[in-house]
Structure formats: C-alpha cells, structure tokens
Amino acid sequence: MTRAEQKYLKECKEKQFIESIKGQKIDGKTKAEFRKTDTWKNFRKHLFEERKVDALTGRKLNKTANCHHERFDPTLYSDLDENYFLMLNNQMHDWLHIAISETIKNPKFMDIAKELVEKHIQLNNGKDVKDFLKD
C-alpha cells in the first residue's frame, strides 16, 4: 500500500470514528482516543497559534497549555466550535475547574476569594510571596 493510500485510509477511519461519537455521551477512554486524532490536534494547534495567550492571565501560552471545553456536556465533546473553547495554561485550567465547582457549591465563593486576595495584598503591601523570597 502506498503512503497516499495509507494516509487516505487513516483519514477515512478518523472521520468514521468522529462521526460515530458525535452526540454520544463518551467516556474518558474515548476522549483520550479523540484527542489522538489529527482533527483534534489540528484544532488545538489552530487555537494555540491564534490566541497565543492564557485567557485568564494574558500570559504567553506554554507548550502544554490546555484547550478547555466551556461546555461540560459529554455529548458535545467532539463539537469543535471555537466559540466554546478557551486556551489556558495548566495552573489556570486547574484553578478554573476548582472555581467553577466551588461556585456551584457556594455562589459566594468568588466574592470570598476576592476578599481574601485583597486582604493578602493589603497585609503584604502589594507584594507577592515571591517578592519576599528575593530579599
């Protein structure tokens, strides 16, 4: 089989796989398989190159940045609509998931967090813990 034929066969299998999971409630194993497809890799690469910065911090994206699905419904996992994705560096991705979960449990979570952050900034004269390590 020629390389062109192999490539075509791979593309056909990938399209068939993606069609088979559309609208399905997929599990972690299937998500991992989806993320191995060229379709996903090219989508993620496109967002990475287009957006360039973390959606929360505005800092440059690192190579391991996450392509965060804003819609958690597992039946929408393979719907690659750019409007429902954020590019986030790892720590911000983890923080966002924690903030969402905690806010669902306690709607005042973000207000409390903001107050705590402001108090820390005030108590430390606008310095971060890293600033004290420099001294």
pLDDT tens profile 16-35: 999 999 999 999 999 999 99
Per-residue pLDDT band for 130 (boundaries 50, 70, 90) equals confident
Contact 96, 89 (CB under 8 A): no
35-41 CB contacts, 8 Å cutoff, 24+ apart:
38/10, 38/11, 38/14, 39/14, 39/80, 40/80
State the pLDDT at residue 79.
95
State the pLDDT at residue 1.
86
Q: CA nearest 99: which of 82, 83, 111?
A: 111
Give the domain ranges of the chain: 3-88
> Percent of the chain at pLDDT above 90?
93
In this predicted structure, the answer to whether residue 132 has a pLDDT above a threshold of 90 is no
